[in-house]
Structure 1
């Protein structure tokens, strides 16, 4: 209409379109006059020109919205159809579009594992993964090497090209030797922390401790190859290089290291080993708090603690995560002032009694009334201490540790139960009443040091 009736050029018609889209009244007034002048040259009187322009102006009020809504609705339908019928393929493609956005990857990762989607993630693997996320026919997705921090597309593509040309890597030494100048320390360490070598060697701590050795070995072999037969006599010595042993990380340390490479917990969650025990005192998961109001006891692994300055003073925001969801807990005022320093540390289980409510925007808010570490909660809520023993444990040392705590005031003492397990048998022992013990935080710390934290359970 602008060209045929109003005499607009293509460029002028585009300016009118922009004015209509932005709904600027002053621009539309100018274009009404331009349109009327052009229409007059087509022998169309002013009244008819204004009537036509009125229709165009009215369309500007809804036409663009409706056309956009229709397009978005169609794209939404296509997206939903793909997700419903090809969930693994859809999520792999979606996650591959956000390789550098850890926060968004975590959202997609959690969504993919919801029961309605039922997608299982396979860990990153130096011999199986590619730069992007790859689905398979079993509704599984192989984690992308490109999503590990410290790698890059060029490095990953070189890894893939090398293994496709010369076969699977057999270990860290073989990997560094074959990759040569195409790999650096940062990338190797990131791949180890992310679990990409687990199929070849599950002890990530040992691999990390031998990165220097592997890189030096690769450099020496490269130099030897470049110098011809002069150093051939040393080839056998180089080939006999063995990696130095190192104790494996604890599960908590391994998950923390993994998070530095992946951006979130992939192979497990530090809350999981304590779930059963913690749910006895804090039965409501963070994911279900939206259904609750009032005061609730919540628990989770503190992944971060940050300080917020407000008009009312200092406030702490603790990010708690369980294996279902995460939620921020606010601590302020007298409660914050009274908390001991050991409570206000990240990377530990915290149990909080909170006032749960929704703010004016409808967002869930948690204000803490109390904050306890796991050991503090064990002392506060315990009725019985259960210790799981194995043949390797020092029973005499355990008895000496427990004995002083059997002699404290009776009202402070709780029941004690032993579980014993070896390769052939399992049994429980309830000691005589005189072995009731007074549970304290120092005792729990000493028991964890002697037996390991997983050997301790509170009922």
Structure 2
């Protein structure tokens, strides 16, 4: 929306809706006024928006103004479509509350809320891409602190180069090689791009539970440049979950405001009290440092010896909320991994 810092996505761009249906939905709204709720929408667009289209619109958040609990809307969709299709309701202009119980009607759907990860998955299904955020966003500190390579820059690497990338699995295909052993081709997407990852039978057996769509994963492997098209692929040597990354983080660093800014320093000191309350709930081995720019502009690190932390993602998110999005970083290192890329390259699966 111009001037408001917002973006409106075209209704016709939502999967299963289409241009003609979107046009008729808008015309109905312009002719008879705004839609009052999901049931009103269904009654006024019978024969225009089928179940798949309405489901996609719910997943995309098109009905959030009526009820932001998309799980409840999806759970009650069949019931509301049946009500919208009844002769009695079509002949009546009386609009009842979306979840008001009728005599003999089924009870309302259980109160279940989807988490942010599930809502983003719905957006991916509805739009074809993540719209409001990215599943990797809560793990941005770990992503940067472990030195993961941007998928969008894999084209800069040479065939056989070792890299580590991280992202969300958006697709998985299962295949069998010449020895009749199963392997997987998964699509991994980070903040910038996506890449196909070959997971051969030995790694597949070790990491099968991590290789499902919508799971976050870290992949250490080798770049494979496909000769016929020049598009990089990744052959996996190891797959890790992002949850496992907390064992690899050795230091948590919190930025301090400049000493010259007394107001910000006072707020920082007050927030340290909250840190002292949080830290005992996450005992571990990672060290905590405070960083402040020195007189020469070079940062100085001060080790807070009283803290030994477990850098769980939940703890890091609370630190980011407390001190600011850009004020918290971590330092860690992925373990070395042996690769048999050269052998595999000479005998790719067929």
TM-score interval for Structure 1 and Structure 2 normalised by the shorter chain: 0.5 to 0.7
Contact 1:287 1:324 survives alignment (8 Å)? yes
Supply the RMSD in Å over aligned alpha carbons.
4.2
| Larger CA Rg, structure 1 vs 2 | 1
State the TM-score, normalizing by the size of structure 1.
Answer: 0.50
Question: 1:36-435 to 2 correspondence within 5 Å?
Answer: 142-152=8-18, 155-180=21-46, 182-212=48-78, 214-215=80-81, 217-219=83-85, 223=88, 226=91, 239=96, 242=99, 246=111, 248-293=113-158, 294-311=161-178, 313-332=181-200, 334-337=202-205, 339-361=206-228, 362-384=230-252, 399=280, 402=282, 413-415=285-287, 433=306
User: Aligned in 2, Cα 1:382/1:335: closer, same or farther, shift over 3 Å?
Assistant: farther
Number of residue pairs aligned between Structure 1 and Structure 2 = 280
Q: For residues 150 and 350 of structure 1, what CA distance do their matches in structure 2 show? A: 30
Q: How big is the shift at 1:248?
A: 4.0
Which is strand-richer, 1 or 2?
2
SS at 1:279's partner residue?
A: helix
User: Aligned in 2, Cα 1:298/1:147: closer, same or farther, shift over 3 Å?
Assistant: same
Q: For residues 219 and 333 of structure 1, what CA distance do their matches in structure 2 show? A: 51
SS at 1:257's partner residue?
A: helix
Q: How big is the shift at 1:287?
A: 0.6
Q: Deviations over 1:236-267 (max 9, x none)?
A: xx645656694542221001122222233233
Contact 1:385 1:456 survives alignment (8 Å)? no
Contact 2:142 2:245 survives alignment (8 Å)? no
User: Aligned in 2, Cα 1:250/1:385: closer, same or farther, shift over 3 Å?
Assistant: farther
Contact 1:356 1:366 survives alignment (8 Å)? yes
State the TM-score, normalizing by the size of structure 2.
Answer: 0.63
| Match of residue 344 from structure 2 | none
Contact 2:169 2:187 survives alignment (8 Å)? yes
Which is helix-richer, 1 or 2?
1
Q: Deviations over 1:307-365 (max 9, x none)?
A: 3323365432221101211011222264444x244333332221122222434333323
Q: Which runs of 5+ in 1 are unaligned?
A: 1-121, 123-135, 390-394, 407-412, 419-429
Contact 1:193 1:257 survives alignment (8 Å)? yes
Q: How big is the shift at 1:212?
A: 4.3
Q: Which runs of 5+ in 2 are unaligned?
A: 101-107, 255-270, 272-276, 291-302, 321-328, 331-350
| Match of residue 264 from structure 2 | none
Q: How big is the shift at 1:374?
A: 0.5
